[in-house]
Amino acid sequence: METGSDILLDVRDLTVALPQGAERPNAVENVNLRIARDEILCVVGESGSGKSMTAHAVMGLLPGPHVRVTGGEIAYRGRDILTMGGAEQRGLRGDRIAMIFQEPMTALNPLMRVGDQIEESLKAHSSMEQSYASKAARRARVVELLTDVGLPDPESLRRSYPFRLSGGQRQRVMIAMALALEPDILIADEPTTALDVTTQKQILGLIRTIQAERRMGVMFITHDFGVVAEIATNVAVMQHGRCVEAGPAAQVLNQPRHPYTRQLIAAVPHYIEHRGDFLKRGDALLTAEKVRKVFHLGGGLFRKGRELVAGDDISLTIHPGETLGVVGESGSGKSTLGRCIVGLNKTDGGRILFQGQDLAALSRNQFRPVRKDIQMIFQDPYASLNPRHKVADIIAQGPVAFGESRSKATARARELLRLVGLPESAADRYPHEFSGGQRQRISIARALALEPKLIIADEPVSALDVSVQRQVLDLLEDIRHRFGLAMLFITHDLRVAAQVCDTIAVMQRGKVVEMNTAREVFQNPQHAYTRTLLDAIPGKGWEIPEELRTGTAGLAGRGAVA
């Protein structure tokens, strides 16, 4: 913030009130932020920290009338936006301050051509920008913008509808739209969170280049310290609506002072050097051989639908006690593999041998006895627990289905709750009374209730905040050692895989392209795609400060309940 001469946006003592009855009186409390020309300010925090609210307050997007600014000011080049009239604010929005959103899939109007959507903002501000008064001029500008954000064949892309574009391409269109009028300030609200790592890397690169070229100030909201390390000039860390630490990126990343910042940085998943190699003993617990799965989309009685090959020749093995990480981008077939193993999907070819028995050949009824041995933990802790059942019933459902008496199963459920770090009293409550991390613990308890040999964990932590993510990972690690469980850990995040897995299988387009010990995959990747993935990990140039690495921090987090 030393470049004080050219301050573009100055947020002073901003307070945003929440409606009565909310969990805290203010969404944002006395927050001070400054964005100067040529700098990227990363606002970091977990969900509910008020980071998005701050951005929305700047853009006038607060969900009024209950949520409103009650104090402070937001000055754009020295003039308070909050005291401006409606028309003046609108003039500023999109023109001088532009925003890109998290979900590229929903941020574009599905019924409008991409080019027309970009043109719209040009049109809206054409009274000020005389150069865009004519249609031809706007057209030309749209093509220029689409070229600038690196989209191929802009002339024809201009006439496409959003559904034809991938997530990354849509995010580029969003950026083109934001850049349409050469704003001074770009506010990016988690713009890469919904994207795959390789796409994320491209978008981050794009934002950085554009910011440097046009000398903009960028406010970049994120929860990921890896991303911060990648692009930030300055960092502001938010917790419970307050800004707890702010400073230049190098200082906050390498010498964090506030305990919350330290906790967040310690929770960033990373490869653990000192993990011992896993020793394979005995026969494989599960062997997948050339598993193939094709989904038939659409179609009906008289016409044939489209075919989507989700799994094509997937082969891998898991030994008792081993944690195998299946890593890949969306659409690589990793979840499909997991679902085929637990029998939620039928395979279209290949064999899945579990203790010598081919699961793929079993009918639904024949499969039932195997369910005891293979359990699954789901991704979304908010969708995976039946909202109308008590926690005890949720955990006990498996044993009861297998003939255990209800009282015995419920007693066991209480034990399991304690095991996963929840109080026994949780048994009599409903899922909605718990936080995301606590729900995931309940999910884990449910999977353990049947005393399985293999657990399929499908992105079990990707819906959680980093610090909670860390605790759940620690719990999984603890449990698998205690019970000698084998685990198939499906994740899109290589850093998470590095932290918990013995072996890693990298998947691309329905195939396993590389499978090796975690150490080998990280230190000596063989396949080009693995190298691309490793290269795309955000913040790989940044080393987590020594004193915050695993071990100490991990143990500190274990006692607390998510």
Partner 1 sequence: MSRDFWKAFARNRGAVVGLAILALVVLAAVFANLIYPQSPWDMAAMPFQPPLSDDALLGSDTLGRDIAAGIVHGARVSLLIGLSSTAVALLIGVTLGAIAGYHGGVVDDAIMRFTELFQTIPNFVLAVVLVAIFTPSIANITIAIAVVSWPPLARLARGEFMALRSREFVQAAITTGQGTGTIILRQILPNSLSPIIVSASLTVATAILLESSLSFLGLGDPNVMSWGYMIGAARTVIRQAWWMSFFPGIAILLTVLALNLVGEGLNDALNPKLARKGRA
Nearest-CA neighbor of 234 among 561, 521, 1, 520? 1
Contact between 168 and 199 under an 8 Å Cβ cutoff? The reply is yes
The least distance separating partner 1 from the CB of residue 386, rounded to whole angstroms, comes to 4
For residues 510 and 311, the answer to whether their CB atoms sit within 8 Å is yes
The site string for partner 1 over 439-458 (x = CB under 8 A, - otherwise) reads ----x--x--xx--------
Least distance to partner 1 from the beta carbon of 371, Å? 4
Helices 167-179 & 114-124 angle (0-180, nearest 10): 20
Tokens standing for residue 368:
């039932």
User: Per CB under 8 A, which region of 25-33, 117-125, 200-208, 339-347 contacts partner 1?
Assistant: 339-347
The answer to whether the CB of 150 falls within 8 A of the CB of 206 is: yes
Q: Is 429 in the site for partner 1 (CB under 8 A)?
A: no
State the nearest-atom distance from the C-beta of 552 to partner 1, in Å: 35
Select from 43-51, 367-375, 483-491, 516-524 the region that touches partner 1 (CB under 8 A): 367-375
CA 153, distance to chain mean position in Å, is 30
User: Which residues share a beta bridge with 25?
Assistant: none
The CB-of-454 to partner 1 minimum distance in angstroms stands at: 12
The answer to whether the CB of 100 falls within 8 A of the CB of 168 is no
Residues 6+ away with beta carbon under 8 Å from 189:
52, 55, 99, 100, 101, 102, 221
- Judge residue 432's burial from the number of C-beta atoms within 10 Å of its C-beta, 0-12 exposed, 13-18 middle, 19 or more buried: exposed
Return the number of the residue (123 or 389) whose C-beta is nearest partner 1. Answer: 389
Binding to partner 1 (CB under 8 A): which residues in 377-406?
Answer: 378-380, 383-389, 397-398, 401-402
Contact status: 139 vs partner 1 (CB under 8 A): no
Contact 368/416 with Cβ under 8 angstroms?
no
Residue 539 backbone class (left: φ over 0; alpha: ψ -120 to 50; beta: rest): left
Q: Nearer Cβ to partner 1, position 121 or 375?
A: 375
* Closer residue to partner 1 (CB): 236 or 374: 374
Is residue 469 a contact point for partner 1 (CB under 8 A)?
Answer: no
Q: Which stretch binds partner 1 (CB under 8 A): 225-233, 373-381, 513-521, 544-552?
A: 373-381
Strand segments, DSSP code E, in 176-305 are 185-189, 217-222, 234-239, 242-248, 286-297
Segment holding 334, helix H or strand E:
helix 334-341
Question: Of 454 and 544, which CB lies nearer to partner 1 in the complex structure?
Answer: 454
Least distance in angstroms from the C-beta of 519 to partner 1: 32
User: In the complex with partner 1, which residue's Cβ is closer, 289 or 380?
Assistant: 380
- Other CB atoms within 10 Å distance of the CB of residue 47: 12
Candidates 232-240, 319-327, 370-378, 512-520; binding stretch for partner 1 (CB under 8 A): 370-378
Do residues 183 and 216 make contact, with C-beta atoms less than 8 angstroms apart? yes
Burial (CB count within 10 angstroms: exposed 0-12, middle 13-18, buried 19+), residue 240: middle
Give yes or no for residue 301 binding partner 1 (CB under 8 A): yes
In order of 36, 93, 192, 263, 294, the CA distances from 11 in angstroms are: 12, 16, 24, 26, 53
Identify which of 375, 434, 379 has the alpha carbon closest to the alpha carbon of residue 401: 375
Give min distance, CB of 418 to partner 1, in A: 20
Q: How far is the CB of 401 from partner 1 (least distance, A)?
A: 4
Cβ distance to partner 1 smaller for residue 327 or 374:
374
Under the criterion CB under 8 A, does residue 22 sit at the interface with partner 1?
A: no
374 counts as binding partner 1 under rule CB under 8 A: yes
- With contacts defined by CB under 8 A, how many residues of the chain interact with partner 1? 28
CA distances to 268, 544, 550 from 272, in Å: 12, 12, 7
Segment interacting with partner 1, rule: CB under 8 A, options 1-9, 189-197, 319-327, 342-350: 342-350
CB of 396 to partner 1, least distance (A): 10
Looking at residues 186 to 225 of the shown chain, list those that interact with partner 1 (rule: CB under 8 A): none
Answer for which of 343, 350, 436, 539 binds partner 1 (CB under 8 A) is: 343
3-state helix, strand, coil in the chain (%, to 5): 40, 25, 35
- How far is 288 from 317, CA to CA, in rounded Å? 6
Which of 99, 385 has the CB closer to partner 1?
A: 385
Q: What minimum distance in Å lies between the beta carbon of 344 and partner 1?
A: 6
Dist. CA 281–CA 303, nearest whole Å: 51
Closest approach of partner 1 to the CB of residue 488, in Å: 13
30-49 footprint of partner 1 as x/- string (CB under 8 A): --------------------
Using CB under 8 A as the binding rule, whether residue 376 contacts partner 1 is answered as: yes
Q: Of the two residues 387 and 559, which places its CB atom closer to partner 1 in the complex?
A: 387
Nearest CA to 398 among 342, 437, 462? 342
Instruction: Determine, following the binding rule CB under 8 A, whether residue 368 of this chain makes contact with partner 1.
Output: yes
Half-sphere exposure of 9 (CA within 13 A, CB side): 30
Asked if 488 is part of the footprint of partner 1 (rule: CB under 8 A), the reply reads: no
Q: Which residue in the set 222, 375, 491, 550 belongs to the binding site for partner 1 (CB under 8 A)?
A: 375
Minimum CB–partner distance for residue 267 and partner 1 (Å): 25
Q: Are 30 and 13 in contact (CB under 8 A)?
A: yes
x/- track of binding to partner 1 for residues 164-183 (CB under 8 A) = --------------------
Task: Write down the least CB distance from residue 326 to partner 1, Å.
Answer: 17
Using the rule CB under 8 A, give the single segment among 133-141, 272-280, 369-377, 477-485 that binds partner 1: 369-377
Q: Which residues form the interface with partner 1 (CB under 8 A)? A: 301, 342-344, 368, 371-372, 374-376, 378-380, 383-389, 397-398, 401-402, 443, 446, 449-450
